[in-house]
Chains A and B, each alone.
Chain A
Amino acid sequence: AQSVAQPEDQVNVAEGNPLTVKCTYSVSGNPYLFWYVQYPNRGLQFLLKYITGDNLVKGSYGFEAEFNKSQTSFHLKKPSALVSDSALYFCAAQDPYRGSTLGRLYFGRGTQLTVWP
């Protein structure tokens, strides 16, 4: 079975500093990995995904993520944090449902990012 772990419930960083939100995964087969962000009282917004190819994936709002197969990690990063980046971040893995082509997501528990001015 697929599983995703986000080891930190909370990450605090000062505005302008780099940020990292950690994610590790356990999947069978090739990993399909995603990051979503959730602002207060909102749904989930897609940030970026890794399917294949370059290990560094660039996404929305200046975020990027680094896929590391040997460490089974997919950490989310941003070179310079903004106060507006404060939100709940979810890492997810996708697998095929019962051998079909239909994909479904397994989520981590989420990491609350707070960026201080």
Chain B
Amino acid sequence: ETGVTQTPRHLVMGMTNKKSLKCEQHLGHNAMYWYKQSAKKPLELMFVYSLEERVENNSVPSRFSPECPNSSHLFLHLHTLQPEDSALYLCASSQGVLGNTIYFGEGSWLTVV
């Protein structure tokens, strides 16, 4: 149903692990986003890529490392995370012009133990 696909849907990792979240959009968009949704905070924008170049990093800790190899794929590399990083990570895409709708994937539930 969704034009934005995220894998895995669920991930449990230890604090010393390295893992990656993957996002793929099938909508022909030129901008992609990572958002974080946690229980106690509003949805937070983490990273924005437009035409494969990162244009925003909202002071996200370096233990989160994004990669955008092309306009259809976006990764979030995770290493030495903390338990407070446990959250739902949402990928989104848009035709990155103001007023255009931003479409979200189903999210990846991350639990750090």
Contacts and interface: CB of A to CB of B under 8 A. Distances in A.
A49 B101 contact: yes
A98 B94 CA distance: 17
B45 interface: yes
Interface in B50-105: 50, 55-56, 90, 92, 94, 96-105
A105 B45 contact: yes
Contact residue range for chain A?
Answer: 20 to 34
Contact residue range for chain B?
Answer: 20 to 34
Given A44-B90, A97-B55, A108-B42, A102 B48 contact: yes
A102 B98 CA distance: 6
A34 B31 CA distance: 18
Nearest to A109: B42
A76 to B, nearest CB: 16
Given A103-B94, A103-B96, A97 B48 contact: yes
Nearest to A3: B42
Contacts of A90: 43
Interface string B23-58: 000000001010000000011010010100001100
Contacts of A46: 101-104
Given A32-B98, A97-B56, A101-B98, A43 B90 contact: yes
The 4 A-B residue pairs whose C-beta atoms are closest, nearest first, are: A103-B98, A107-B43, A44-B104, A43-B106
Interface of A: 32, 34, 36, 41-46, 49, 51, 90, 94-98, 100-105, 107-110
